[in-house]
């Protein structure tokens, strides 16, 4: 009796022969669990004066200078 691939007695997911090439994995550009509106790239907001720092930067610098001066005036032993 000749051996036949389709009647070998074992369970096989594929019919006799090579299953063929599997296409390469191509990740999608969008996560299906997240709405695409949140994944869009938005251009940064245009500023009128690109050379000037933001107000929040100036406020942080002023707070740092104030704390530094307060430390220098009230430091122990000084």
Rounded distance between C-alpha atoms, residue 75 and residue 58, angstroms:
25
Report the predicted TM-score, pTM, of the whole model to 2 decimal places. Answer: 0.38
Q: What is the pLDDT of residues 16-37, one digit of tens each?
A: 666 677 777 776 666 667 666 6
Contacts of 69 (CB under 8 A, 6+ apart): none
DSSP H/E element including 1: none
What separation in angstroms does the CA of 35 have from each of 26, 42, 73? 20, 15, 54
pLDDT digits (tens, 9 = 90+) for 40-78: 777 777 767 667 888 999 999 999 999 999 999 998 886
């Amino acid at each position: 009796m000749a051996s036949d691939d389709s009647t070998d007695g074992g369970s096989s997911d594929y019919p006799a022969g090579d299953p063929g090439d599997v296409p390469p994995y191509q990740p999608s550009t969008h996560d299906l669990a997240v709405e695409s509106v949140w994944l869009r790239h938005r251009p940064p907001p245009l500023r009128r004066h690109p050379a000037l720092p933001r107000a929040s930067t100036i406020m942080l610098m002023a707070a740092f200078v104030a704390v530094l001066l307060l430390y220098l005036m009230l430091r122990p032993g000084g």
